[in-house]
Amino acid sequence: DGGITQSPKYLFRKEGQNVTLSCEQNLNHDAMYWYRQDPGQGLRLIYYSQIVNDFQKGDIAEGYSVSREKKESFPLTVTSAQKNPTAFYLCASSMTGKNEKLLFGSGTQLSVL
């Protein structure tokens, strides 16, 4: 079955540590996205990519980095520069085009030790 796989489901980060969240899709979607969700709040866009080897900053990119070396993969690194990383991280993908719908992975809950 086609879908979006995020791993791990839960992740703990020590102070000063970089951690990487995985996102893989087998839907042949061109576009991929990373959102952050804090408790009781909506989704805020971190980074997005519409094509391999290209990506753009979203609204809250500081302290995060991404790569898009393969169409099906869009990993997110939370660096030590992100001082408040505790949140629910959601990866999504879609075809490109103004009417295309985003589908989401199951999310990764990141917490600070």
Residues in contact with another protein by the rule CB under 8 A: 31, 33, 35, 40-45, 48, 50, 58-59, 90, 96-99, 101-107
Contact criterion met (CB below 8 Å) for 23 and 32: yes
Is the Cβ of residue 30 or residue 72 nearer to another protein in the bound state? 30
For residue 62, the 8-state DSSP code is: T
Cβ at position 112, least distance to another protein in Å: 19
Question: Hey, what are 54's tokens?
Answer: 């290209």
Is the Cβ of residue 78 or residue 92 nearer to another protein in the bound state? 92
User: Which residue type, as a one-letter code, is found at position 1?
Assistant: D
Contact criterion met (CB below 8 Å) for 22 and 77: no
Cβ at position 63, least distance to another protein in Å: 18
Is the Cβ of residue 102 or residue 112 nearer to another protein in the bound state? 102
Cis-peptide, bond into residue 85, ω within 30° of zero: no
